[in-house]
Structures are given as C-alpha cells and as structure tokens.
Structure 1
Amino acid sequence: MKTFVVDEPSVGALRALNYSPAVERIRRAGSNSARPLSSIVKEFGRAYGTVFTRRDCDSNHGVELITQGDMFAAEPTGRIIRLDSMHHPERHIVTRGQVLISGAGTLGENELFGRSILADGRLVGKYVGPHAMALQFEAPDDDFSLFTYAWLACPTGIQAIRSTSYGTKILGLRKDLLGSLPIPLAHSSVVGKIASLVRSCSEGRETFLRDIRRARTLVEQLPEMQQAHEMCGALRRHSIMWSGPFPSLVAWNFASSGGALRHLRTKWKSTLGDLVEQGGIYNGPRFARVECRPPFGVEFMSQRDAMLIRPAPRQIVHPGFDDRLLFAREGTILVGGHGTLGEGEVFGRAVLVHGRYSQAAFTQDLLRVVPKASKAHALYAYLTTTVGFRLLRTTAVGTKILSLREDMLRALPVPDWPTDVERDVSELVRSAFDARVKAEHAETEALRIIEQEVVPQWLE
C-alpha cells in the first residue's frame, strides 16, 4: 500500500489509480525537464477499442491478426482472418517502429497489461486487434523516439502507463491521460546510447527469427517431411486405417496427423527416445508458490512466460526439492505439457533453454525433454516445424486439460539425418539463439540504464 500527495489532481481523473508517485515527481520538476508523450507521438491507437467479427479463412487469402499475447511472443503467430473483417484495415496494420502496448487486462504484477514492445520485422505487416494501443511516433527511428520506448518499457514506465487506466474488472487505457505522460529529458549521449541498444535488440530479434526459419526450412525440405506436411499441414477432419499398435484407445492419437505419423514411422528408424538421455522426459512436481522479492528467491516462469520474447516471471521462494525438477539445463527442450488443442495455444509448442532460461525455475506444466548434447539444436528445429508440432500433439491424452504421454512421445519418429543437413540445421539454431541472447542483453541494459541511472536523477 502506497500513500503520496498529488499537487494538482485533475477533475478528469479522480481515482487514486490514475496517479503515480514517479510521474508526479517528474511533473513537479517542470516542463523544462520533460516532454509530454503527445508531442512525440502523432497517432494514439487508431484501432484501439474497435469491435469487429473475425472471419477465419485460408492463409493464402487472409491476413494475420495478432492478440496481445502474440505481440510479445518470441515467434508471433496470429489467426488468419479475412481483410474485410475489419472496417478500416489500414488502422490495424503494424508498421516498423510503432510501440505496441497491451491495452486491456488487470494490474497483476506479472500481467501483460501496460507492457510495451517495439515493432520490429517479426511483427511488421501483421494486424492488431482492439486491445493493442499502437503508438506511431513522428520520427520512428529517431534517437529520442527509441529512448521514449525504453522509458515506457522499464518498470517505472509500466507503472506510469498503468496510471492511465480506467474501468472495473478489465481495465483499458485512456488516450488523454496517456498523451499527457511526461517523458523526462536526458543528456544526448545517454539518449544515443539507449537508442543504439534498442536498435541492437531489434536487429538481434529479427536475426533470431530469420535463422530459426532457415533451419526449419532445411528440415522441411527433406522428402519425407514434404510428404508428411501434405498429410497434416492443413487442419481438417481425418479418417485413416490403423492396424496397431494401440497404446491408447483414443482415435486422436492415431488419426489427428492424417497418416503422417504412420508414414514417418515407415521412413525413419530413429525415435525420440533414441535421442534423449535416460529419464530425460519428465514434468516437475506440483508445489505451492510463495511470492517474494529479489534478491531473494528464484525467477519462476509459467508456460506463457517461456514462450515470450521478454518474459515477465514471478519471483518465488525456492520450494526446497531437487533443482533438477525445478530448473532446466542449457539445451533442454521445454514443451507446453498441459492445455487444450486450440491453434493459438501453448500446448505442444516447444522452446529451447538458453541464456537466462538456464537460471530460471519452470512450472511443472512444461514438459522437460533432455536430448543428448549433440542432438539438441537439430531436434528442436524438427519439433517446432508444423509436422513436429502436429506429432507432439498426437500424444495428447485426457479430457478437458490434456497432457502428453511419455511412452507415446518416446515412440515418435525423428529424422535419420543426412550428416550435412543436421550440421547446417544445428549451426543455424545456435546462431539464432546467440542472436536472441545478445538482443536480450541489449534491451536489458537499455532498461537498466533508464531505471537505475536516469530515473533517479529525474526524481531527485
């Protein structure tokens, strides 16, 4: 609980929620030390708050609509809808340099609401829905614009954005209050350094996605993969003949891949069980989460956090059991292990443990797949292709909330790699995650400078 004094409360905002101690101190510093956000931004969320009916269609005929979660995903993948679903599609399209803010949600410390992401090549050309507040700068690549983004993305900036909230259970953002937020000024050398770090971050993220896609393309060019993709690439009803074995009596486990599972078993001798270590497929145990604050405790990532380009984990007290069941070593493949079969769901999607992930704790809902050291990168590329994703989901069992069965996972076919293909795929995946780690370090440093070096000077 915080108590502070506001010098000049506005008649347009009488809720305590609409005032932030940091923002009020910046305002008191005077107009010479800050600029209002409205003087930098020419358009505030042209599509924000619009309502429309999404009409699904084939990817060859529609456009990609991304949700708030997709905006922050490491690999943004949206829903394909008809362009005429939106009354003014041009207002929804994402352009380079926009700042996309999660504009609907709650004030939970680890919620996406109020968080910002800079639109790089991974997001350009996609379309946002009514819950994304898209800020269009007057000069998107200008140093001060990128500095402003870093300010909005740092913890104090998130607090400031959330102070512009309105609503009851599901909050939104008021454009008038958002435009009045003061963006404090800093020395040109500091502004230039932060802008350079933000540019490096964007470049690294684009390199990450480009190299990952190149690696998957090499996998998908294998003749067996092309045939399997024709069988399971498109979502449709399947009917197949299956002669066994029958590890389960659920038709989904055999028919959902449209015959791709049986086809690849006849083409490849290797299985997933051959490539993982002894006891290398497991979930962690369930346990109570006790919140705490740094420097105490450990970062704890949910299934959602693991798939984000900039995770927003909780800080919890170490539960006291074996670290192997809580953490995951470098090179481990984490798979969304509990969920439903919606195309946009995390269930069945994989992420490679790298960088900060090797220091974080993970929910038991993430299935750990620990490959043999030399196989991790190529196996990750295969499991994240469309075919690999569909095959992982063939092992789903349960009713409403599904899980992945270990024995069926071990039996999944994996490529008998040509040596040169496996080597090239592994190198591209390593290059991709090296770029992602560098991008993360650049953005972290930019936000650290704002939060630890610049903000204290503004608030003196």
Structure 2
Amino acid sequence: MKAISFVAKHPRTAALRALNYTPEIEKIRAARKGRSVPLRDLLLRMGPAYGTVFTRKDCAPERGIELLSQSDMFASEPRGRIIRRDSMGNPDAHEIARFDVLVAGAGTLGENELYGRSIIADRRLAGKYVGPDAMSLVFEEPGSDISLFAYAFLASPTGVRAIRSTSYGTKILRFRDDLFGTLPIPLVSNEATSRVASLVRATIKDRELYDGKLRSARAVVDQLQDIQAAKEMVTDRRISAVIWDGPLDTISAWNFASTRGAFSHLSSAWKFRLRDAIEDGGAFNGPRFSRIECDRPYGIDFMSQRDVFLMRPVPRRIARPAIPDRQLLVPSNAILAGSHGQLSEGSLFGKVELASHLGDKCGVTQDILRLLPREGHRAVAYTFLSTAVGQALLKSTAVGTSIPSVRLDLLLKLPYPTLSSTDARLVDSLTSDAELARMRATASETEAIRIIEEEVLPEWLV
C-alpha cells in the first residue's frame, strides 16, 4: 500500500487525526449541496448494540439464540455461539433483520483485516444476533434502491477506507458514531442507483438460494436411519464414557470417546470408509513457506484458513513461492477442511468448504486440508462431512494439545455412507445448484462494486 498525502480544505475540530480524513470523502463532502446525503439521514438506527457489554451465558441450542462474532457475520454458513437471550440487557437491539448492513467494528487497519468491511444481511443471518463489535445499520427503507446503493458504496474499497476514517483508538480501533453518521453517500441518477440496487438484490437472492440448496442436500443425508441414531449421540451434551474394544491407533481418549459411540455405530453399520471416496494420496496439507507481501499485478492471492470460509474472502497478495502448484493451489473439485485450530464450538477446525469459489490461481494456506474426491463422490463426501455427524467425526481425528491438527490415518478410517443412486443424484444436483448460486451472487456483488468504483465515483474524484 502506497503512502499518500493531501490537504484537507475544511478540517474539523472534532477530528484532528490524519486518520479521520480520506481524499475521496473530502471531495464528496466538498461537492455542491444536494449531490450527497449523510449516512445517518438514511438510517432508522445506527449501531444500537455497538459497544454494549454483557456476560454470555451458554445454554443448549434449543433454549438459546445464536450470537455471531465478526468472522461469523462474513462466513459462508454463519454459525455462532449459543447463549441465553437474557444474557443481553436489550436483546432486540442485537437481533439482525433482513437488509440490515453489518460492519465489522473492532480491529486494525491491516489491508486484509475485516475491520471496516460490510455485508448485507440475508436470510442466512436474519434472526441471529450480533455482539458489541458489530456496527449494524438499520435503514429507514430496508431493501429500497437508495439503501442497497448505500451498502454497495460502503462495501467498495473507497467505502472501506471511508468507514475506517471514522476510527479512534490505538491498538484495537473502533468507530466514532458522530463521524460514522456523517459519511456522505453520493447521490447519482435513478438509472445508476437502480442498476446497483438490482445487482445487490440478485446477490441477496442467490446467497439465500445457496444456503437453501445446501440445507436440502444435507437433509437427504440426515434422513438416513443410521445418521439419525448417530446424531442423537453427538448432540448429547451430557458427560459420558464409552467402552472401546477396537485397535488403539492413539492413546488419546478424545479420538475414541468424543463422538459418544457414533464412530463405533457407523463403522459397524457401513462397510465403506472415507478413503474409498478419496483419491490415492488425495488427502494432504501444503508445506510451510515464507510469505512475502507484494502488490498487483505481481504475485498471487493467498487465502488464510479464515478466508476459505468467508462468503467474500479478503486474501493477501504475496510473491509466488517456489513450491509445486499441487501443494499451493487447489483444483475446483477439491473439498477443503480446516485442519489446525481449537475444538471449541464455532471454531474453524473440521469445517468443510467446496473449492469452487476460489480463483484458479489462488494460493491456500497449509492449515487447510485438501481432499481430492474420486469421481462421483464429491457432493456426497462434502455433504456428509458438513452434517453435524460428519463434523463430529472430523473433529474426533484431532491430535495435539495447544493447536490440534487432523491425523490423516484416522481421517481416512472414518465411516462413509452409501446412498441410493436416486439420493446420490439428488445430492449432486442440489450441491451443484448451490455452487452456481454462490458464484452468481459473488459476480453480482462484484459488478455492483465495480459500478461504484469505475462509473460513479470518478465524477467526484477528477
């Protein structure tokens, strides 16, 4: 990132830090009256739960609500921490509604940090709750053209810089409400506003379709009788013990007892193992290597473990390391799994994702486990591993103390389901539809932001 300097023609006594000024926003502010509108004039509420403090009281899923962290808000499949609703003094202020804009509100100014980035809430997020680090923007007219246009502006690179310019603090930055509310939203022709708004609506629709298709695919696997029995075991939160009469591949009780008998039950009920669905040598992590930052057009995009599971990744740009493509890049048909981290609820360890949303030349961290499925098994393998039972089985392969990792021999011995040809075709079709919907959503949002950056803003920035 290049250092820049500019003159603020109208500095404000309320904002004396250079951080609180950006050249693009100052030019929009300086435009003649009526060409922009302060963000707060479009809002019904701004950050009603931002900065609140409360004690989280964990509880069983059927008795609580889902509290999302900053990373959870941006996840392709948001899954938060289950807490009691009365943990919060004013729960309604934390609840997410469709068309709310959620902004990551605590962090640093790193180029690929989430801080200052926005996402618009669709049905994947609606009904869940945000914590004190999320700035939620509730519009007077949710879903209207101007509110969707405002979201696209805030989500653009210029918008991110504008949002970050409202920061205060040193180590962990947060937003100043007074500065945030005065951010100018440019007003453009009805035609341009409508184009951008239509693209954002398409983004929301396709993300909801993506989520619905994946849920339908999982339902096909979840309805298996053996899966239902195993699910009762892995979701039982009571302390339990198991008797193990098989080989002791490890001396860690976790690998045998964490699934509360589900592993033994499914191993007896199913004759196939995960290795039967994976190519020979098709389960591996990449090597460690030095990551040297660089700028476009040089180098490649590089995704961390966090980025792989985000709906809109924020990759780093690094110099291309001298390692083989197979160990750095991933083919679009691969299944990716978080293989280093903690075992707590909401952690990335064991989560799975399809690689089709990554770029062809995008590098992936060694913390991500690559699974290359045999022909005809990709959709079923992914869907099974993403169910509650599959997730519990994946986590049961963890070894280590401080930062557990997946042990490959245990992974390949996991039981693997046999579906009827009809069910397998249905899972494949639903998964394919979900992937296409996600890629359409990404393309629509990218185009909306391109219009903002390349067609709208140049009017002010010449």
After TM superposition, the score normalised by the length of structure 2 is 0.98
| CA displacement 1:122-167 (0-9 Å, x = unmatched) | 1111111111111111111111110000000000000000000011
Candidates 404, 414, 417, aligned match of 2:416? 414
Partner of 1:79: 81
Partner of 1:345: 347
1:19 aligns with 2:17: no
Looking at structure 1, the residues matched to 140 and 361 of structure 2 have their Cα atoms a distance apart, in angstroms, of 40
Looking at structure 1, the residues matched to 142 and 449 of structure 2 have their Cα atoms a distance apart, in angstroms, of 19
Partner of 2:64: 62
Question: For 1:297-376, what aligned pairs fall within 5 Å after superposition?
Answer: 297-376=299-378
| Range with greater deviation from structure 2 (203-212 or 22-31) | 22-31
Partner of 1:178: 180
Give 1:31 shift: 2.2
Give 1:330 shift: 1.2
Question: For 1:176-255, what aligned pairs fall within 5 Å after superposition?
Answer: 176-255=178-257
Partner of 1:101: 103
Give 1:236 shift: 3.8
| CA displacement 1:75-102 (0-9 Å, x = unmatched) | 1111111111111111111111111111
Looking at structure 1, the residues matched to 453 and 231 of structure 2 have their Cα atoms a distance apart, in angstroms, of 47
AA of the residue aligned to 1:312: V
Give 1:25 shift: 1.4
Secondary structure of 1:359's aligned partner: coil
Partner of 1:275: 277
Secondary structure of 1:354's aligned partner: helix
AA of the residue aligned to 1:33: R
Looking at structure 1, the residues matched to 237 and 322 of structure 2 have their Cα atoms a distance apart, in angstroms, of 44
Partner of 1:36: 38
Looking at structure 2, the residues matched to 327 and 315 of structure 1 have their Cα atoms a distance apart, in angstroms, of 14
Looking at structure 2, the residues matched to 30 and 251 of structure 1 have their Cα atoms a distance apart, in angstroms, of 70
Looking at structure 1, the residues matched to 420 and 20 of structure 2 have their Cα atoms a distance apart, in angstroms, of 60
Partner of 2:457: 455
Looking at structure 2, the residues matched to 2 and 324 of structure 1 have their Cα atoms a distance apart, in angstroms, of 39
Give 1:199 shift: 0.2
Secondary structure of 2:438's aligned partner: helix
The runs of 5 or more residues in structure 2 that have no matched partner are none
Give 1:339 shift: 0.5
Candidates 114, 119, 122, aligned match of 2:121? 119
Secondary structure of 2:377's aligned partner: helix
AA of the residue aligned to 1:101: V
Secondary structure of 2:337's aligned partner: strand
AA of the residue aligned to 2:290: A
Contact 2:95 2:128 in 1 (8 A): yes
Contact 2:203 2:444 in 1 (8 A): yes
Distance change >3 Å, CA 349–CA 235, structure 1 → 2: farther
Candidates 254, 258, 261, aligned match of 1:259? 261
Give 1:357 shift: 4.1
Aligned length: 460
Looking at structure 2, the residues matched to 130 and 327 of structure 1 have their Cα atoms a distance apart, in angstroms, of 37
Percent identical: 51
Give 1:424 shift: 0.8
Point out 4+ residue stretches in structure 1 off by more than 3 angstroms: 355-359
Secondary structure of 2:376's aligned partner: helix
Looking at structure 1, the residues matched to 359 and 252 of structure 2 have their Cα atoms a distance apart, in angstroms, of 35
Candidates 391, 396, 402, aligned match of 2:404? 402
Partner of 1:9: 11
Give 1:8 shift: 1.2
Looking at structure 2, the residues matched to 309 and 347 of structure 1 have their Cα atoms a distance apart, in angstroms, of 17
Partner of 2:393: 391
Partner of 1:430: 432
AA of the residue aligned to 2:19: L
Contact 2:36 2:187 in 1 (8 A): yes
Partner of 2:139: 137
Give 1:374 shift: 1.4
Give 1:57 shift: 0.9
Looking at structure 2, the residues matched to 221 and 113 of structure 1 have their Cα atoms a distance apart, in angstroms, of 40
AA of the residue aligned to 1:154: S
Contact 1:261 1:391 in 2 (8 A): yes
Looking at structure 2, the residues matched to 356 and 189 of structure 1 have their Cα atoms a distance apart, in angstroms, of 32
Looking at structure 1, the residues matched to 404 and 134 of structure 2 have their Cα atoms a distance apart, in angstroms, of 30
Give 1:405 shift: 0.8
Give 1:223 shift: 0.5
Secondary structure of 2:6's aligned partner: coil
Contact 1:64 1:126 in 2 (8 A): yes
| CA displacement 1:372-430 (0-9 Å, x = unmatched) | 13111111000000100010111111111111111111111100111111111111111
Give 1:359 shift: 3.4
Looking at structure 2, the residues matched to 76 and 191 of structure 1 have their Cα atoms a distance apart, in angstroms, of 29
Give 1:449 shift: 1.1
Looking at structure 1, the residues matched to 436 and 6 of structure 2 have their Cα atoms a distance apart, in angstroms, of 44
Looking at structure 2, the residues matched to 371 and 198 of structure 1 have their Cα atoms a distance apart, in angstroms, of 34
Looking at structure 2, the residues matched to 358 and 265 of structure 1 have their Cα atoms a distance apart, in angstroms, of 37
Secondary structure of 2:62's aligned partner: coil
Contact 1:331 1:377 in 2 (8 A): no
Secondary structure of 1:112's aligned partner: coil
Looking at structure 2, the residues matched to 45 and 114 of structure 1 have their Cα atoms a distance apart, in angstroms, of 13
Contact 2:332 2:358 in 1 (8 A): no
AA of the residue aligned to 2:215: R
Give the aligned CA root-mean-square deviation in angstroms: 1.0
Looking at structure 1, the residues matched to 122 and 10 of structure 2 have their Cα atoms a distance apart, in angstroms, of 38
After TM superposition, the score normalised by the length of structure 1 is 0.98
Secondary structure of 2:272's aligned partner: coil
| CA displacement 1:21-58 (0-9 Å, x = unmatched) | 11111112232321111111121111111101111111
Contact 1:273 1:410 in 2 (8 A): yes
The runs of 5 or more residues in structure 1 that have no matched partner are none
